[in-house]
Amino acid sequence: MDLNLTDEQEMILQGVREFARGEIAPRAREMDAEAYIPSAVIEQMRALGLFGAQIPEAYGGLGLDTVTYSAIIEELARACAGVSILLSVHASVAAYPLMVFAGEEQRRRFLPRLAAGEIGAFCLSEPGSGSDAASLKTSARRDGDGYVLNGAKVFVSSGSLASLYLVMARSDPQADPPHRGISAFLVEREAAGIVIGRKEDKMGLRADDTMEVFFEDCRVPAANRIGEEGAGFKIAMKSLDSGRIGVGAQAIGIAQAACDAALAYARERQQFGRPLAHFQAIQNKLADMAVQIEAARLLVHQAAWLKDRGRSYTKQAAMAKLFASEMSTRVAHQALQIHGGYGYMKDYAVERYYRDARVTEIYEGTSEMQRLVIARQVLRGE
C-alpha cells in the first residue's frame, strides 16, 4: 500500500525494515523460546530513535506522524511481535498521554527521557479489573504535597524494563460515577514502594516482559499527577484509543509474516507431484489471506490518518483493532493449515505467529469491548 510518505519518512521506515529483517527476525525464535528481548536489540532501537518516534523534535523525538509510526510497528511485528509491543506500549500509552495531557513542565521533564529510550509502561489492569477498567481499586491517598499509592497491577508490558510507569489509581473513593475518582500518575522506577512481581508465563508474545507491579505505600509527588484529579479514566481511554491503532498494526505485521511463510511453503512443498501453490484449495486460502490483510491495513491507515488530523478516531481505532486482530488469528490459522503437520512443529515459525496473533484480540481491550465501543458510537449516529 502506498502511504504517500515523504522522503525522510520513507528513509526512516527503510532503516526500520532493514533492522527488523536483518537483526530482529533471525533472533525471534530465540526471543520466543527464552522469553526476553536482548539488550542489544533495545540498544539498536534507541540508536534508530524509535523510542521517540512520535515525540515532537522539540523534546528530542523524531516527530513522526501516526501513519508512518503504524508502518514501523507493522515492520517490527512482522519480525517479532514482542519487540513491536515494547515500542507500541511505550509510544501509545506512555509517551502519547504525556504529550497530550501533561503540563509543559512535565513534558520538559519526562519526554526527552522517553525519547532517549528510557522505557515507558502503562498500569491500568488489576487482578479484579480488566474490561471493566473503571472498577480499579489501586488507591492514591492525598498526603501533603503528594499521594501515597497502594494496589496491584497485572499484565504490565515492559514491567521490569521500564523506567517510567503511567499508573491509574483511585484518588477519590466517593466519586459518583466512580470513574471520575480515578487519576493518572507518573511513577519513576526509583520510587520507594514500587515492587516488580512475577513475570507471566504466556502462550505467545513471549518476548514481551509482562509483569505484575505492586505499589506498597509508594509516594508520588503531586507534580507527577498527569491532568486534573479525576481525569485519569479519560486519559486512559484516550491512550487506549491511540494504543489500539498500534495493536492493529501489530496484528497486521503478524498476519503478513504468517502469510509470507505460507506462501514460501506452498511454493516449495510438493504433494501429488506438484507444489501446493498449484492447487486451487491452497490458492483460495492465499487469496483470502491477502485480501484480509489489505483490508485491515486500510482500516488502520484510516484511524491513523484521522488521528494525525486531530479528528475524532475512537470508533475507527476500535474498528481497526477489532478487524485486524480477528483477521490476524484467522490468517495465522490458515497459514498453519497450509503447512500441514509441519506447521504444528516448532521447527517452523508459523506456530509462533499463531500463538502471537491470539493476544491481539484480548489486550488493549478485548474484541467484545471494541464491539461495545463501536456499537455505542453507531447508536449515537457518529
Question: Per CB under 6 A, which of residues 295..334 are in contact with ligand COS?
Answer: 314
The residue from 125, 171, 242, 292 that contacts ligand COS (CB under 6 A) is: 125
Q: Which stretch binds ligand COS (CB under 6 A): 6-14, 182-190, 205-213, 360-368?
A: 360-368
Q: Which stretch binds ligand COS (CB under 6 A): 28-36, 41-49, 234-242, 339-347?
A: 234-242
Asked whether position 358 contacts ligand COS by CB under 6 A, the answer is no
Among 119, 6, 113, 120, residue whose Cα is nearest residue 60: 113
Which one, 5 or 372, has the nearer CB to ligand COS? 372
Q: Compute φ and ψ for 313, nearest 5 degrees.
A: -140, 15
Are residues 99 and 115 in contact, defined by beta-carbon separation less than 8 angstroms? no
The residue from 107, 238, 301, 307 that contacts ligand COS (CB under 6 A) is: 238
Asked whether position 123 contacts ligand COS by CB under 6 A, the answer is no
Asked whether position 133 contacts ligand COS by CB under 6 A, the answer is yes
The residue from 69, 233, 313, 323 that contacts ligand COS (CB under 6 A) is: 233
| Residue 10: CB minimum distance to ligand COS, A | 32
Residue with cell 503478513: 256
- CA–CA dist 326, 246 (Å, integer): 15
Q: Which stretch binds ligand COS (CB under 6 A): 5-13, 181-189, 237-245, 283-291?
A: 237-245
Q: Compute φ and ψ for 165, nearest 5 degrees.
A: -120, 125
Which one, 35 or 100, has the nearer CB to ligand COS? 100
Question: Per CB under 6 A, which of residues 148..177 are in contact with ligand COS?
Answer: 155
- CA–CA dist 153, 221 (Å, integer): 20
CA dihedral sign of residues 125, 127, 131, 137: negative
Which one, 9 or 329, has the nearer CB to ligand COS? 329
The residue from 134, 175, 191, 263 that contacts ligand COS (CB under 6 A) is: 134
Q: Which stretch binds ligand COS (CB under 6 A): 8-16, 124-132, 184-192, 285-293?
A: 124-132
* Catalytic residue list contains 364: yes
Query: How many CB atoms lie under 10 A from the CB of residue 311?
Result: 9
Sort strands 164-170 and 120-123 into parallel, antiparallel or unpaired: parallel
Q: Please classify residue 189 by burial: count the beta carbons closer than 10 Å to its beta carbon, then call 0-12 exposed, 13-18 middle and 19+ buried.
A: middle
Q: Which stretch binds ligand COS (CB under 6 A): 131-139, 182-190, 219-227, 246-254?
A: 131-139
Q: Which stretch binds ligand COS (CB under 6 A): 62-70, 163-171, 199-207, 364-372?
A: 364-372
| Residue 46: CB minimum distance to ligand COS, A | 24
Check 126, 364, 368, 382 and give the catalytic one.
Answer: 364
Q: Name the grid cell of 144.
A: 501533603
Asked whether position 234 contacts ligand COS by CB under 6 A, the answer is yes
The residue from 6, 14, 131, 283 that contacts ligand COS (CB under 6 A) is: 131
Query: How many CB atoms lie under 10 A from the CB of residue 98?
Result: 25
- CA–CA dist 63, 137 (Å, integer): 36
Q: Compute φ and ψ for 306, nearest 5 degrees.
A: -65, -45
Asked whether position 226 contacts ligand COS by CB under 6 A, the answer is no
Q: Is 342 in a helix, a strand, or coil? A: helix
**Which residue sits closest to ligand COS, CB atoms considered?**
365
Number of amino acids touching ligand COS (CB under 6 A): 21
Annotate 262-314 with DSSP letters as a single string: HHHHHHH-EETTEEGGGSHHHHHHHHHHHHHHHHHHHHHHHHHHHHHTT---H
Helical H segments across the chain, by residue range: 7-19, 28-34, 39-47, 66-79, 81-90, 96-101, 104-116, 232-268, 280-308, 314-339, 350-358, 367-379
Which one, 41 or 133, has the nearer CB to ligand COS? 133
| Residue 372: CB minimum distance to ligand COS, A | 6
Which one, 98 or 369, has the nearer CB to ligand COS? 369
Residues with active-site annotation: 364
Q: Which residues bind ligand COS (CB under 6 A)?
A: 124-125, 131, 133-134, 155, 179-180, 233-234, 237-238, 240-241, 314, 363-365, 369, 372-373
